[in-house]
Structure 1
Amino acid sequence: MQHRSIFLLTVLFFLLISDTHAQAPPLRVAVAGISHGHSGWILGRTGKPDIEVAGIWEPDTALAAKAARQYNIPRNRFYTNLAAMLDALKPEAVLAFGSVYAHLEVTEACAPRGIHVMVEKPLAANLAHARKMEALARKHRIHLLTNYETSWYPSVHKSLQLALDSNYTGTLRMARFNHGHQGPKEIGCSPEFLAWLTDPVLNGAGALTDFGCYGANIMTALMRNEAPVSVTAVTRRFKPKVYPKVDDDATIVVDYPGAQAVIQASWNWTFNRKDMELYGTQAALSAPDAATLIRRGTSGRPQETKVTPEELKVYTDPFVYLAAVVKGKETVAPWSLYSLENNVMVVRILEAAKISAKTGKSVPL
């Protein structure tokens, strides 16, 4: 009888442990700003128990009311005061979906409270903001992550993996990044989004910031801790009547001691694209979309493969990645796509590109 009781207690214990593991508490987050067109990624994220949106800070009450109706969110979850929301809700992390300029304000509010932050790309609107954000994150020991759509692409992860393997591609010599679309107004971005996306202060620039950051982010991950030697850029305003305050096209050349990156960012292309080409001394890789990888050896013949998240065990949801990092299940590798050091370098490259475009000269880093 005693042995039977011990057995039943043991079974009950393991059932309780199993149930607790299966029902791990969700990451409790708050949203800071919803004017970014990507805010729907979190506001409309339903049916997944891993993230709990406890509250939303949005000072534009009309925009807040619109989002409440669109996503069926109770109005009492919206706040007009960021500090009051953070103190009332005490979230584990905050997701910033306002202007790029507002990323500093969000970090200044969250870091001293020990709240982790994920911002939409790029990290900051200018280098001074990036440096302040970096200092705050390191001082208060919070994670400060930057989210790019291309960070979820299996083809990008596989390209990084293979390009960093010198036996596969040889030494990297040239990288070309093509990121852009027809233009934010042309594709139907909301008035609230356009208001700051086309503002040289609130966004930092136009297409140069909006799409130039992708190539800078991936190239920095490829080069790891090797800084560029110089940055040279040319910007254009092909549609000054549509975008009178900012550039709508940018070509950025980033030089390294043994390699070069050409970043093409545009609001003038006939279709949406996010693709790249990497050229090594032994082979070239191209990633035309999120799931396709093409290798060409010295013969030039293409070898196409499909890449799956399961194969690489990569994250295809930024919020799942954030939860894993905050809960200690995932470590942010130095110079990796989401990392702070990478994204400070991205802002350094973009800042140098803006100066180069303005002066007509290469800018040393």
Structure 2
Amino acid sequence: MSQKIVLMGAGLIGREHAAMLRANPRVELVGIADVSEAAKAVADEFSARFFTDVREMLDRMKPDGAIIALPNALHVEAALACVERNVPCMVEKPIADSLEAAMRLVTEAEKAGVPVLIGHQRRHSPDIAKARQIVRDGALGRLVAVNAMWMTDKPVPYFDVAWRRLPGGGPLLINLIHDVDCLRFICGDINEVMAFTSNAIRSFEVEDTASVSVRFAGGALGTLLMSDAAVSPFNWDTAAGQALYFPHQPENSYHLAGTKATLSIPGMDIWRHETEAGHWQHALVRQHVTLDGSRAYENQLDHFADVIEGKAEPLISARDGAITLATVLAISRAGREHRTVTVSEMLA
């Protein structure tokens, strides 16, 4: 018997969730809640009941689970409505637009014992999962240095939506948060950050470019370069071919360097010496890692179905999502205050 799922938010990503729900035989989309007039047409298209209030939808439909794809500032209230009704939910990233709101949800969800899955879909991608395994198995040796890039050129109409131009909606929280979460998942927690941020291209209240240095708990150092105003193939979304509405342009966006080898992602090539006696003047050997070809968003939905059925714990819980958020907010603070910021300082 399929699980009855409701969707909160019928915008860009909400509509994609609706399509994936329709395609998956394990679930059934039964309701959509959104305040926009256009959302009614989306509900009709997917044969779902339409509501303008999330609580009314939850009370009337009594779903098995809910997917929350609302603007960042509305995530926590919608998720709390689910927790209050013992409805497992999946919350699009970020978990919240502030750490205070995020921790409120963490507290209530843990107290009620209601599973909350945060929608960092890249954790469900085969390249990210395999990279984590490679690092944990010690195939790279001791991790020394990490480099990540997310750069693309967003079009002018993208910013017609006001919240994307305002604090709580910039590319740190919309985009780089994915890369931070991936690096946390693969390499371990980040303890401290330094950053330069700039809004020189668009002069919005939020940044358009950032250069970040991080120190991982395991001792490795990392650099992250982000811009949503630069023409580039160097972003995971297009490089991995996992994005829902972008072309696949094979490239690498992450490089993980260790004492034994280096891994590039999502190309999944390991570069190492042929023997342990090899050194810098010897040619390196390239080993390609084959993946299973599965799709991140589809894997995420299957995982959410498992969470609803009690077969799995959320791959990224509300608390885990809050730590990713705290790390990104530490980057934002470091850029504003021109100093090193620790993640523990944010969580304190």
In 1, Cα distance between equivalents of 2:43 and 2:60 = 20
The CA deviation string for residues 325-363 of structure 1, in whole angstroms up to 9 with x for no partner, is 21122334xxx5x23333111111111111111111111
Determine the C-alpha separation between the residues in 2 that align with 1:180 and 1:115.
37
Q: Is the contact made by 2:127 and 2:268 (CA closer than 8 Å) also made in structure 1?
A: yes
Alignment-derived partner of residue 260 in structure 2 = 282
Identity of aligned residues (%): 22
Q: Is the 8 A contact 1:107 1:136 kept in 2?
A: no
- Tell me the CA shift for residue 139 of structure 1: 1.0
Could you tell me which runs of 5 or more consecutive residues in structure 2 were left unpaired when the two chains were aligned.
237-252, 274-282
Residue 259 of structure 1 is matched in structure 2 by 220
Q: Distance in 2 between matches of 1:133 and 1:339?
A: 11
The 3-state SS of whatever aligns with 2:339 is: coil
Give how far 1:247 is off. Answer: 0.8
Partners of 2:38 and 2:221 lie apart in 1 by: 43
Distance 2:95 2:78 in 1: 12
For 2:305 and 2:198, how far apart are their aligned partners in 1?
40
Q: 1:250 aligns to what SS in structure 2?
A: strand
The residue number in structure 2 matching 1:358 is 336
Q: Which residue of 2 aligns with 1:302?
A: 286
Give the alignment partner of residue 51 of structure 1, picking from 15, 23, 27.
27
- Partner of residue 308, structure 2: 326
Offset, 1:213 = 0.8
Distance in 1 (CA, whole Å) between partners of 2:72 and 2:297 is 24
Q: Which amino acid aligns with 2:210?
A: A
- Deviation at 1:314? 8.5
Q: Is the 8 A contact 2:192 2:214 kept in 1?
A: yes
- The count of corresponding residues between Structure 1 and Structure 2 is 315
Could you tell me which amino acid in structure 2 is paired with residue 328 of structure 1? Answer: G
Q: 1:119 to 1:265 in 2, by over 3 A?
A: farther
Residues 1:122 and 1:314: Cα distance change in structure 2 (over 3 Å): closer
Between the aligned partners of 1:316 and 1:67, the Cα distance in structure 2 is: 20
Q: Provide the TM-score with structure 1 as the length reference.
A: 0.79
Tell me: CA distance 1:357–1:284, structure 2 relative to 1, closer, same or farther (3 Å). same
Q: Confirm or deny that 1:210 pairs with 2:174.
A: yes
Asked if the contact 1:220/1:342 (under 8 Å) is kept, the reply is: no
Maintained 8 Å contact 1:233/1:356: yes
Query: Matched residue of 2:302: which SS?
Result: helix
In structure 2, the partner of 1:33 is 9
Match of 2:137 among 165, 171, 175: 165
* Distance across 2 between alignment mates of 1:240 and 1:173: 36
* Match runs of 1:1-365 below 5 Å: 25-35=1-11, 37-45=12-20, 46-60=22-36, 62-68=37-43, 72-74=45-47, 77-166=49-138, 168-183=139-154, 185-186=155-156, 189=158, 191=160, 194-201=161-168, 203=169, 206-224=170-188, 227-240=189-202, 244-257=204-217, 258-272=219-233, 273-274=235-236, 275-288=253-266, 292-298=267-273, 299-309=283-293, 316-332=298-314, 336=315, 338-364=316-342, 365=344
Question: Any unmatched runs of 5+ in structure 1?
Answer: 1-24
How far apart, CA to CA, are the structure 2 residues paired with 1:80 and 1:156?
37
1:4 is matched with none
Q: Are the aligned partners of 2:103 and 2:319 in contact in 1 as well (CA < 8 Å)?
A: no
* Cα distance in structure 2, aligned partners of 1:138 and 1:281: 39
In 2: Cα distance, 1:286 partner to 1:94 partner: 35
Q: Which runs of 4+ in 1 moved over 6 A?
A: none
CA separation of 1:342 and 1:174: change in aligned 2, threshold 3 A:
farther
Tell me the CA shift for residue 47 of structure 1.
4.0
How much does 1:134 deviate? 0.7
- Contact in 2 for aligned 1:181/1:267 (Cα 8 Å): yes
Larger Rg: 1
